[in-house]
Amino acid sequence: MARVLIVEDEEALSLLLRYNLEAEGYEVEVCGRGDEADTRLREAPPDLLVLDWMLPGLSGIELCRRLRTRTETERLPIIMLTARGEESERIRGLTTGADDYVVKPFSTPELMARVRAMLRRARPELVSSLLRAGDLELDRETHRVRRGGREIHLGPTEFRLLEYLMQSPGRVFSREQLLDGVWGMDVYVDERTVDVHVGRLRKSINRGRDRDPIRTVRGSGYAFDDQFSATVGAV
């Protein structure tokens, strides 16, 4: 699931954007100040940023400039929102580092289409309906999982957990990161819950001598094996 951060100080507009983006299936956070967004982006960069030009604390244009100077956010997709429709202002926004520039008032369906298009280019694995690795296949639209042509029945939590791991092969997630990404940041459950659900997921997707695509990284957490596709084909 793609994570989108909205930085917008107009509450009515940020609520509208949040509602529509969540309806599209994205995980959405909202921030109303530029300086607070700067701190949040240092801690956990999203997959896409919707950024207003005029913000309290720190302007959107200055925040955009700062993001492009940092390694972790230099390629972050940024859509800038502004009431400034003049050509010179659009050029300034794009030159500073915005990938797209949307003038208020705008069509919400058009903005949703722009978000989809940008994520499709920047993070195709997050918006593709089908995730494949080796003989394992996960369909986000039908919520079906197959391995070697055999359908696997997963509970909703195991499905989200597998999806979350598959969309970032090789990346090691701590239990805390998995809790935030799969269960949600507002849900308070014990970290050992992750171990229980990983155990259930492994039991469901691995039969007999099947290779386990989920790696346990001692002292760190779990990862989807980025060598899984190659090794399955070689077995």
CATH of the domain at 223: 1.10.10.10
Same domain, 219 and 132: yes
Average pLDDT of the chain to the nearest whole number: 88
Domain, as residue range, for 11: 3-126
Same domain, 97 and 165: no
Say if residue 186's pLDDT is above 70.
no
Same domain, 106 and 21: yes
Same domain, 71 and 168: no
Please tell me the total count of domains within the chain.
Answer: 2
Please state, as a whole number, how many other Cβ atoms lie within 10 Å of the Cβ of residue 172: 14
What's the pLDDT band for 170 if we cut at 50, 70, 90? confident
Same domain, 200 and 217: yes
119: Cβ contacts below 8 Å, ≥ 6 apart: 2, 47, 48, 77, 126, 127
Q: What is the mean pLDDT of residues 103-112?
A: 87
* CATH code for the domain in which residue 105 is found: 3.40.50.2300
Q: What is the pTM of this model?
A: 0.60
